[in-house]
Amino acid sequence: MPLTDRPIHELLPRLAKKEIAAADLAHDVAARIEAVDGRIHAFLEWDRDELLAAARDVDERRARGEALGPLAGVPVGIKDVINVKGHTCRCGSKILQGYVAPYDATVIAKLRAAGAIPVGRLNMDEFAMGSSQENSAFGVTRNPWDLDRIPGGSSGGSAAAVAAGEVQLTLGSDTGGSIRQPAAVCGVVGLKPTYGRVSRYGLVAFASSLDQIGPFARDVTDAALLFAVIAGHDPNDSTSLPEPVPDYTRALTGDVRGLRLGLPKEYFTEGMDREVETAVRAAVKTLASLGAEIVEISLPHTAYALAVYYIIATAEASANLARFDGVRYGFRAKDAKDPMDMYGRTRGAGFGPEVTRRIILGTYVLSSGYYDAYYLRAQKVRTLIRRDFTEAFQRCDAILTPTSPVPAFRIGERADDPLTMYLSDIFTVSANIAGICGVSVPCGFTAQPKLPIGLQVLGKPFGEETILRVAHAYEQATAWHRERPVIGDS
């Protein structure tokens, strides 16, 4: 059995005892990527020699008796929106053509300090704007469970790489569900941390008040291990909060007795796939059978969350993406008459249609005469949504919802209908608006075709220990996370 089939938490003791070598794991990762990624297209680029050399270095250091970090020798795939020194960081966009990161993001520095090996650049929706991973300038990533279907977005490459067994751990970013939604439709675990829990230094910004970096893994324990490494205060990020980082694996007791889990009536809506609702309600019953108390709660401003999100996120994107102009780095249009012509041509040719749409929308809501009517009002409703969660958490310890209203849809099925596409995020955007944490864990499959379904567990600010405890207890009581896709003739 290749080592890529085993969870990292099972391999770490064997690595420490030298029963297996980091080079063995790196070789199996490389072999798996070479075997299946031609069909999945999760990786935009990766370097076999670099991966194997880094693994051999870990083995040599271990042989010399050096003290090594908690993830020594473990490969971790990196979404193409996080800077890794010496590697391209194109954010799935033509406009960052040729850009090579001059520094490591804080999460990458933390991975290196823990002994982990950053691997490659994972495909994504351009500038993290999308729910299907069809907006990349470099082609579509395919869902390992059905190659004709989307892997979710915007961290589709990060989710698909884990689901396909190419690498056990990856990093993604979540602005409105971009970790949790692809995790759900690819059948893996994805964690969106509390805002400020993980440094954003070195993450190319989409919407600065919403973005968070988080882990993907095949099971909750592996997700907790990776999360513990990247979490913590960073003076380079003014929004990073100085909260102590606990050992998250200690929360994984398998016991939810005494916990009150809220079930919001607003999250079981018309338009949700029937099999998704059935699977999520069955998951709720499973947690109840494990001793959790299920309480009905209300989040009354949920109906406004999607509108609030697409005002705030696009406004912040409009400001953040103004820096990509062809002057300092990246793509530059040729034959421009003057600097303003070059600027307009560069942005017109460099950005894809979805990014262009959001920049225009964001510029509009920030413009004179519309700022108060849209952006300022959205910020006021954001406060109400945050208040909804604060009041709900007075009655419960965590909240249970579907992650995605539908399973993975076919590539191209919603490409010409942006509004329907945006509805894919209906259950995930509220967590980003409120700044709370959330995790998606596999909770079943549709019948025909067999497609994964995700259960979302939302928690209080800095409540990751609780949501990981709930997700782990559910995971241990079921076998969904052990299912593996069959990828063509692999």
Is the bond preceding 154 in cis, omega lying within 30 degrees of 0? yes
Contact 170, 119 (CB under 8 A): no
Q: Is 79 a catalytic residue?
A: yes
Distance from CA of residue 98 to its chain's centroid? 25
Is the bond preceding 449 in cis, omega lying within 30 degrees of 0? yes
Structure tokens at 402: 């579907």
Structure tokens at 326: 């062809």
Question: C-alpha distances in angstroms, 109 versus 61, 117, 202?
Answer: 18, 11, 10
Provide the pairing of β-strand 452-459 with 437-445.
antiparallel
Residue-wise over 436-454: b if at least 16 C-beta within 10 A, else e?
bbbbbbbbbbbeeeebbbb
Question: C-alpha distances in angstroms, 163 versus 43, 158, 227, 232?
Answer: 13, 9, 18, 27
Which position among 178, 318, 424, 440 bears the catalytic label?
178
Q: Is 178 a catalytic residue?
A: yes
Which position among 93, 136, 154, 430 bears the catalytic label?
154
Q: Is 94 a catalytic residue?
A: no
**SS3 of 122, please?**
strand
Find the distance separating the first CA and the last CA of the chain, reported in whole Å.
14
Contact 282, 294 (CB under 8 A): no
| Of 253, 196, 198, 244, the residue nearest 221 (C-alpha) | 253
**SS3 of 382, please?**
helix
What residue type is assigned to position 110 of the chain?
K
Determine the Cα–Cα distance for residues 455 and 433; give it in Å rounded to an integer.
Answer: 19
Contacts of 227 by beta carbon, 8 Å cutoff, 6+ apart: 191, 193, 214, 215, 248, 464, 468
For the beta carbon of residue 365, count every other beta carbon within 10 angstroms: 20
Tell me which residues are annotated as active site. Answer: 79, 154, 178
